[in-house]
Amino acid sequence: MYNHFINPKNKKGHINPELQGHFSEHLGRCIYEGLYVGENSDIPNVNGMRTDVVEALKEIKIPVLRWPGGCFADEYHWKDGIGPKEKRKKMINTHWGGVVEDNSFGTHEFMELVRQLGCKSYVNGNMGSGTVQEMSEWVEYMTFNGVSPMADLRKENGHEEPWTVDFFGVGNENWGCGGNMTPDFYGNMYRRYQTYVRNYDPKHPIFKIACGANAEDYDWTDGVCAAAFRKAEWQHGFMDGISLHYYTLPGDWGNKGSATDFGEKDWYRTLSKTLFMEELIERHAAILDKYDKDHKVGLIVDEWGTWYDVEPGTNPGFLYQQNTVRDALIAGINLNIFNKHCDRVRMANIAQLVNVLQSVILTEGKKMVKTPTYHVFNMYKYHQDAELLDSFVETEKIGAEEKYQVPNLTESASLGKDGKIHVTLTNLSSTDAYDLRTVLADTPVKSVEAQAVTGSMQAHNTFDAPETVTAKEFGDYKVKDNEISIKVPARSVLHLAIEI
């Protein structure tokens, strides 16, 4: 029996909806086919956006979408993607498969997608191969409501009103694909480029995001902050957020491992690697604390998720992979970690939305399938805009290889906007169910509703069997006063909605 304590009276912070954000890049079949099929497609669409995909994403309350990359962002020239489609320039997508990018999905299309989804926009600018002027003019094009060369151009292209840009990234992975810069050089460039990311709409100031580190590259965070904060402490280094990228690979970059063909060893290795996210957040946050004592700057985990070998027979540059119960666990574990660190983590964007890496949706022609990761996001959506509660679960270490041992359980709890307490739990054991005693301090429980995503380690959804892994009603619990006794199944992610 493991004890699990929740103190409903001790609120620990606000969980931004954006902790459940997403990322869409011009990569493989994410944008084209996955999200955008064009107005003339026989796949049902509204203004070119797939209706099935948009409806599924609205269901999970997608809070924010990042675009156009990724590595693609630093070679994207936004003016190639506006105006009549037949006149738009074609380019080679050098990073992702060397395919022709016809720019038929550009700024107007992205903003139309954001409108249909009802989510916030996160636009990633090009510092690697773009000029300050180009970045500055993009922001003017999108957000200026008046007479100016770029606002006039937007109107000529059929959009009278400006759009809202909620988040703007000044470059992406500039330590690598975004220009191979050093932290000091990037930090100085950041100061310069962000100067011209103007806030044309005082009611909607743009949340500016500096390019942060890859995984445990702590020197990058420190070096960028040292340059950006120099004599700019009161302006918080000119940034509202700094990013962090961390992918979970069962193996290494040379041999990542299969998405579906794996055993128990890989199960625990992968879960233990994903748990490293917690240390990463804490250590990057500790560096931020040196510069930003009053916690104004957010840590933005704008790329996270699993990265496996591509599905056999698919283009290696398209990063198309399947998604199993192991991915469901990885999603649940990470979302619990983000909740627990909501004081610093202000946004997180799983990579990527459709057909790329740890997607919530896969498509094939007219068919669409929701992955196990989708069903986890659907259960966790109740944490959006909720208040994190003080909570703690007793755990033990499990897994045969000492180096890759993991706690058997993770959890987070929040007081939702609906007045209910929402608890999300993950059971990392590949074999064992656990008896859990969840105690709500001084708070009698009126009723509980529960759902679980579970299955065999490799269980996944295919176009022929799309409902193998879904969130199902869960009834293996008993309520008495302020206690809930739960049998948490092996390999599961659970959501409890507790009426108090």
Please tell me whether residue 68 binds ligand AHR under the rule CB under 6 A: no
By the rule CB under 6 A, 172 interacts with ligand AHR: yes
What residues are annotated to the active site? 173, 303
Q: How far is the CB of 195 from ligand AHR (least distance, A)?
A: 24
- Measure the CA–CA gap between 205 and 203, rounded to whole angstroms: 6
Q: Is 217 in the site for ligand AHR (CB under 6 A)?
A: no
Query: Which CB, 26 or 344, lies closer to ligand AHR?
Result: 26
Least distance (Å) between residue 46 CB and ligand AHR: 27
Nearest to 412 by CA among 324, 481, 338: 338
Using the rule CB under 6 A, which residue among 15, 49, 57, 71 binds ligand AHR?
71
What is the CB neighbour count within 10 angstroms for residue 477?
A: 16
Nearer Cβ to ligand AHR, position 73 or 114?
Answer: 73
Positions in 357-376 near ligand AHR (CB under 6 A): 357
Cα separation, 374 vs 184, whole angstroms: 39
Residue whose pair of structure tokens reads 């509660």 in the numeric block: 389
Q: Show the tokens assigned to 471.
A: 């969130």
Nearer to ligand AHR, 351 or 493 (CB): 351
Q: Is residue 222 part of the contact set for ligand AHR (CB under 6 A)? A: no
Q: How many degrees, rounded to 5, is the angle at CA 30 between CA 284 and CA 26?
A: 75
Residue 53 within binding range of ligand AHR, rule CB under 6 A: no
The only residue of 48, 63, 68, 69 in contact with ligand AHR, by rule CB under 6 A: 69
Residue closer to ligand AHR by CB (options 25, 387) is 25
By CB under 6 A, tell whether 70 contacts ligand AHR.
yes
Rounded Cα distance between 308 and 256, Å, is 5
**By the rule CB under 6 A, 173 interacts with ligand AHR:** yes
**What are residue 21's DSSP bridge partners?**
349
How far is residue 359's CA from residue 372's CA, in Å, rounded to a whole number? Answer: 9
**Residue span 395-434 as binding mask against ligand AHR, x where in contact by CB under 6 A, dash where not:** ----------------------------------------
Q: How far apart are CA 443 and CA 207, in angstroms?
A: 39
Region of 63-71, 141-149, 361-369, 441-449 interacting with ligand AHR (CB under 6 A): 63-71
Instruction: Decide if residue 25 touches ligand AHR (CB under 6 A).
Output: yes
* The two three-digit tokens of residue 331, written as one number: 């999603």
The nearest distance, CB 317 to ligand AHR, in angstroms, is 11
Is residue 270 a contact point for ligand AHR (CB under 6 A)? no
With respect to ligand AHR, which residue has the nearer C-beta, 319 or 335? 319
Part in contact with ligand AHR (CB under 6 A); list of ranges 66-74, 216-224, 336-344, 406-414: 66-74
Verify binding: residue 292, ligand AHR, rule CB under 6 A.
no
Q: How many residues bind ligand AHR (CB under 6 A)?
A: 10
* Peptide bond preceding 352 in cis form (omega within 30 of 0): yes
Nearest-approach distance from CB 436 to ligand AHR, in angstroms: 35
Smallest distance from ligand AHR to CB 101, Å: 14
* Token pair listed for 19: 């902790």
Q: For residue 13, which of 292, 412, 425 has the smallest C-alpha distance?
A: 412
Q: Does 351 contact ligand AHR by CB under 6 A?
A: yes
Stretch that binds ligand AHR, among 7-15, 38-46, 67-75, 394-402 (CB under 6 A): 67-75
Query: Can residue 303 be called a binding residue for ligand AHR (CB under 6 A)?
Result: yes
Minimum CB–partner distance for residue 95 and ligand AHR (Å): 7
Q: Measured from the CB of residue 221, what is the shortest distance to ligand AHR in angstroms?
A: 16
Q: Is 353 a residue that touches ligand AHR (CB under 6 A)? A: no
Of the listed pieces 29-37, 65-73, 366-374, 385-393, which binds ligand AHR according to CB under 6 A? Answer: 65-73
For ligand AHR, give the closer residue by CB, 187 or 305.
305
**Closest to ligand AHR by CB, 222 or 303:** 303
- Kindly indicate which of the ranges 272-280, 349-357, 365-373, 483-491 contains the residues binding ligand AHR, using the contact rule CB under 6 A: 349-357
Window of 69-77, 157-165, 426-434, 439-447 that interacts with ligand AHR by CB under 6 A: 69-77
Binding site for ligand AHR (CB under 6 A): 25, 69-71, 172-173, 303, 351-352, 357
